[in-house]
């Protein structure tokens, strides 16, 4: 099992959601890319952090 903590920053607001872009670690490729989060949850936040557990 491996775990990754991925940081995202605000990119733009759409009709019902907020788009965040991944901030990859220097020298590494993005894992997720863009992430859409519903406005009711995202609120006014400008930074998100998500943890992904890969089960082998």
SS3 for 40?
Answer: helix
Residue 6 has pLDDT above 80, yes or no: yes
Contacts of 42 (CB under 8 A, 6+ apart): 17, 18, 48
Domain boundaries, the chain: 2-54
19-56 confidence digits (pLDDT tens): 999 999 999 999 999 999 999 999 999 999 999 998 87
What is the pTM for the complete model shown? 0.87
Separation between Cα atoms, residue 56 and residue 36, nearest integer Å: 26
Rounded to whole angstroms, the Cα distance separating 43 from 17 reads 10
What confidence tier does 1 reach under pLDDT thresholds 50, 70, 90? Answer: low
| Amino acid 38: pLDDT | 97
Confidence of residue 5 (pLDDT cuts 50, 70, 90): very high
């Amino acid at each position: 099992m491996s775990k990754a903590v991925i940081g995202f920053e605000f990119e733009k607001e759409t009709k019902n959601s907020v788009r965040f872009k991944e901030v990859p670690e220097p020298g590494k490729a993005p894992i997720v890319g863009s992430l859409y989060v519903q406005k009711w949850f995202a609120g006014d936040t400008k930074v998100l952090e998500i943890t992904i557990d890969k089960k082998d």
